[in-house]
Structure formats: C-alpha cells, structure tokens
Amino acid sequence: MSDTIERVKCLIIGSGPAGYTAAIYAARANMKPVLYQGSQPGGQLTTTNEVENFPGYPDGVTGPEMMMQLQKQAERFETDVRNGWITKVDFSGDIHKVWVNDEKEIHCDTVIISTGASAKYLGLDSEQKYLKLGGGVSACAVCDGFFYRNQEVVIVGAGDSACEEAHYLSKLCKKVTMLVRRDEFRASKIMAERVKNTENIEILYNTETDEVLGDGQVVTGVRVFNNQTNEKHEIPATGFFVAIGHKPNTDIFKDYLDLDETGYIINAKPGTSKTNVEGVFVSGDAADHVYRQAITAAGTGCMAALDAERYLAAKDANFEVSTSTYN
Ligand code: NDP
C-alpha cells in the first residue's frame, strides 16, 4: 500500500468517448480532472474499424484514431490522463475513495464513472481472429452494418438486441441469417415477430456457430451446426455479427451504487448523470443499455462534467464556476 494519498477534485474513470468528453468539459471548467484509462485505453471504439456516424468526420475516421484525437483534445486542456485500473472504491463518506491497481489511494470530491460496457462474444478462436483483424466480425450493427450493403451476413442471438440489429441489417444487406440456439426467441414477441416477418431474414433455430470461416484476412462464411442433430453446414457471408448481450463494467461499484439486474448503473434522477451517491456521476454505456453509441456516450460525458461542476459549486463557495463550459 502506498502511504501518500492524493486528493483530486474530479476523477474520471474510463477512456471512451464518455470519459474524454467529460474530461474536456471538466478541464475547461477548472476542475483539474484526472482520468484513468482502464484496461482498454480508448474503450470499445478501439475494436471498431471505421466510424462513419460520429458527426464532424465527413470522411469517417477509424475508431483508434478518433480516440487518440479525443485524448489529445482532453490533454490540450490539461487533463491528467493516466494509465491504471481502478480496482476498488469506497463511496460511503463525503470524500469518495478510489484505489488504483490495488495500491495508490485517491480521495476525490467528485467521481465520473465512464467505464462502459463490454460486448459479449462467443469466444471462438476464429471469431476473435477476424475481430482483431477488423475483417468482418462485429458486435454493433448500427456501427458497422453500412459496410455490408447488398452483402450476405450472419447474426447470432435471439434477444431484443439481436432482433433489432437483424432488422436494421435487413434494410442494408441482401440477406441476413439469424442463428438462434434454442427453438424459440428470448426477445419480446413484437420484436421476434418483426424479424420473422422480414423477407430477407432467414432464422435457423437450434443452430450454433462452429467456426467463422475466412481467407486469413476477411470473413467469407460461417460453419454452423444443428445442436439437435449435430449436422453441420456452411453459410456464405462477409459479415458475422454477434448480438448476445453486453456486460456493463460496474462490478466494483455494486456495494455503493444502485444497479439494475444486468449491472447497469441506475440514474438517480432521470435526465441527469446523477447516481444515488452525491458527487458520483455516470456517463456512457455503464448506464445505457438502449442507445450505446459513441455520440450518446459523449453527450452524457458532457452532462456528467456539468453536473459535477454544479455539485462542486454548490458545495464550495470558493470553487469558481467557469462560464467556458456553457459557451
Ligand atoms: P439478452 O440477454 O436479452 O439476450 C441475449 C441473447 O443471446 C439470448 O437470446 C441468448 O440465448 C443469446 N445467447 C447468449 N449467449 C449465447 C451464445 N453463446 N450463443 C448463442 N446465443 C447466445 O440480451 P440483449 O442484448 O438482447 O438485451 C439486453 C436487455 O436490453 C434486455 O432486457 C432487452 O429487452 C433490452 N433491449 C431492449 C430493446 C428495445 O426494447 N428496443 C433493444 C435492445 C435491448 P438464449 O435465449 O438461448 O439464452
């Protein structure tokens, strides 16, 4: 254990669009934010190839490039961006305590949680290989569907997300094959009916993925098996979408913050970034199971910094509210 305890005005946990946007606003409001990047600096976007739907990039931008630019912008206003993983918190007192890598202890006036969520994957070697290569595996149809216009794709999953994404893809792609591992959907009836009634979506029940096939660079198909008969067959496809759920990265907060049954942080006051603990705010996918977009994460990052600034101003008459954030 380190024996020096650092005191910070605003600690931001996470380095996706939510965390960096919170940092830009907090830094410009004189809150001297310290941002810990976590285990995946840049967040989920660093696993995305091309981002075409973030306003301000008419020619698109790669996920890693966009995250580097966001970091640079946060650092331009003197955000202290650090490597490190927050392993423990104690939000029981007025001062919020966090520990970095189980060692360094920091006392914070405000904390902005931007830890995001992680898409679940099947875990097959071939899936991970093409995911890392950016060669046709994706967990976000809204982000990547456009690249598969008029092509044939496969999507795994049978929940509301899978149905929503399959329907989205059906409007762009020639054909969508949906792999459902049981003989029924988990999704709400209305969402399941919608995919069942879409002409270019073929649903294969009791069907699981055996292997994602490719040429070493990009996906060319998927070998599937029927889990009742063990029969295998190959489906030609250029895209393999995984929609089997997300896991919010909120485990370390569960003793202090209100979470829903999946682990998403519940906003204490809808329409704000406030949690049930005063001075602790949340932004991005850690509290959002509905939109999950870079732009919505960035928007809530801005909200969290403004809420934190107002909280500090109300608490400490000497804290100068910067008008720059409202320009
Ligand atoms: P869910 O947990 O609801 O569904 C996950 C799906 O993935 C299930 O059908 C599950 O199969 C399947 N699955 C899990 N692991 C595997 C695997 N290894 N191989 C194959 N299939 C697998 O997650 P969602 O992301 O769909 O939804 C999360 C929450 O968000 C839900 O409450 C949902 O209602 C909500 N939501 C609402 C929307 C809306 O209303 N517009 C849109 C999107 C989400 P099985 O059924 O066999 O377990």
The C-alpha angle 235, 240, 241, rounded to 5 degrees, equals 130
Query: Which one of 10, 108, 109, 143 is the catalytic residue?
Result: 143
pLDDT score for 3: 61
- Residues 221 and 206 both lie in one domain: yes
Concatenated DSSP letters of 59-110: T-EEHHHHHHHHHHHHHHTT-EEE---EEEEE-SSSSEEEEETTTEEEEEEE
- Going by alpha carbons, the residue nearest to atom 39 of ligand 1 is 160
- Tell me whether residue 144 is one of the annotated catalytic residues: yes
- Residues 114 and 257 both lie in one domain: yes
Domain boundary among 201, 220, 243: 243
Q: What is the pTM of this model?
A: 0.79
- Residues 176 and 220 both lie in one domain: yes
Q: In this structure, is residue 1 part of a structural domain? A: no
Which tens digits make up the pLDDT trace of 112-149?
A: 999 999 889 999 999 999 999 999 999 999 889 999 99
- Residues 179 and 67 both lie in one domain: no
- Residues 135 and 99 both lie in one domain: no
182 lines ligand 1 (CB under 6 A): yes
Q: Which atom of ligand 1 sits closest to the CA of residue 163?
A: 26
146 or 48, which is more confident?
146
- Residues 24 and 103 both lie in one domain: yes
Domain boundary among 223, 243, 263: 243
- Residues 83 and 158 both lie in one domain: no
Is residue 246 within 8 Å of 265, Cβ to Cβ? no
CATH number at residue 175: 3.50.50.60
pLDDT value at 321 more than 60: no
247 lines ligand 1 (CB under 6 A): no
Is residue 284 within 8 Å of 44, Cβ to Cβ? no
- Residues 234 and 260 both lie in one domain: no
Beta strands in 103-253 (DSSP E): 104-113, 117-119, 137-138, 152-156, 175-179, 201-204, 207-214, 219-226, 232-236, 239-242, 246-248
210 lines ligand 1 (CB under 6 A): no
Please measure the distance between the N-terminal and C-terminal CA atoms of the chain and give it in whole angstroms: 43
Into how many domains does the chain fold? 2
Ligand 1 centroid–CA 29 distance in Å is 40
Residue 222 phi/psi, 5° resolution? -140, 130
Mean pLDDT (whole number) for 5-15? 96
Residues 22-37: b if buried by 16+ CB within 10 A, e if exposed: bbbbbbbbbbebbbbb
For residue 126, the enclosing domain spans 122-243
Which tens digits make up the pLDDT trace of 162-196?
A: 999 999 999 999 999 999 999 999 999 999 999 99
pLDDT score for 121: 96
The C-alpha angle 59, 65, 66, rounded to 5 degrees, equals 75
Q: Ligand 1: which of 156, 186, 228 to mutate, most ligand atoms within 8 Å of CB?
A: 186
- Residues 10 and 98 both lie in one domain: yes
